[in-house]
Amino acid sequence: MSGSESGGASAADPRPRLQKALANAGVASRRACEALITGGRVEVNGEVVFELGSRIDAERDEVRVDGVIVQLDVSKRYFVLNKPRGVVSTMRDEHGRPDLREFTDRVDDRLYNVGRLDTDTSGLLVLTNDGELAHRLAHPSFGVQKTYVAKVRGRVTPAVIQRLKDGVELEDGPIRADAAKLLPGGATGSHSLVEVTLHSGRNRIVRRMLAAVGHPVDELVRRRFGPLHLGALRVGELRELSAAERGALLSAAEDGEDHAASGITAGRPGDGKGARGMRGVAARGNPHGRGGGSR
């Protein structure tokens, strides 16, 4: 029996066929997944696989499409939340302050937040039931880039932006932004809008950097975490990652800082752009058809 006739497990070998596992993971339709395999765009444990009848161990084998990891375990779920100001980045606050349960009560799985945002900072927060991934991404040794937009007091000049990129000295050591810019139309007589990108996980680092150059922060929003972007997600909304975003996040965690900072975006199978652009993996919101959408 050929791989295209049946993608399921057999009594002799309970492992699923590769194209079946890819389709179940939300990468694309079964037929599109077969085309990805025969086109040499699928790797299993680092080796390109062309055979449609190949079977895999979904728990042990690492599968990549165009170099981007595919999460084969469909029980693992990943979300982004646009966290409002005033909400504590924990699933249960012992002091009774508003916490993340308000936004996750429609999700049956127990979720973990990946790192934290200050109570007075809003923006992108990753939530998942994949505890191992959450721990890896939140570890100080993992330098995932994060981009923030800050409303600061005073008129920010190009010289101030250069200081942020050159580095400033703080009580716990020097720090410099990976990128910084004054946003168009962001400067008024009393305030400026500044975008800052950095990979440090130090406490309140953006606020302290901007205060050190003479521009205290009044409002702060995180717009990007590694390959994930806040986009048009409204404050207080939660959404499940697409297959493309899941792959980008898993690849960032596996491959380290270079992949995390690459600005991976979602694409469509067959456009041939490769892993750097996360093209070749179909983007599907909530690919498993389960509850837990935005609220």
Q: What is the pLDDT of residue 239?
A: 95
- 172 belongs to the catalytic site: no
| Residues 221, 281, 117: CA angle, nearest 5 degrees | 20
- DSSP per position, 104-150: HTT--S--EEES---TT-EEEEEEES-HHHHHHHHSTT----EEEEE
Active-site position among 118, 120, 178, 255 = 118
pTM of the model: 0.78
pLDDT digit string, tens, across residues 131-159: 888 888 877 677 789 999 999 999 999 99
In angstroms, the first-to-last Cα distance of the chain is 46
pLDDT digit string, tens, across residues 224-270: 999 999 999 999 999 999 888 998 998 888 876 444 444 444 333 33
- Tell me whether residue 64 is in a domain: yes
Which neighbouring-strand residues pair with 113? 127
- Tell me whether residue 295 is in a domain: no
Examine the domain organization and report whether 216 and 170 are in the same domain.
yes
Q: Which amino acid is at 137?
A: L
Examine the domain organization and report whether 161 and 195 are in the same domain.
yes
Q: Which domain holds residue 43?
A: 18-71+249-277
Q: What is the pLDDT of residue 142?
A: 76
Instruction: Find where tokens 């909400």 sit.
Output: 87
Q: Which amino acid is at 235?
A: V
Positions of the chain with pLDDT under 70: 1-11, 140, 186-187, 256-295
Is there a contact between 220 and 120 (Cβ–Cβ < 8 Å)? yes
| Total tally of structural domains belonging to the chain | 3
Q: What is the pLDDT of residue 282?
A: 31
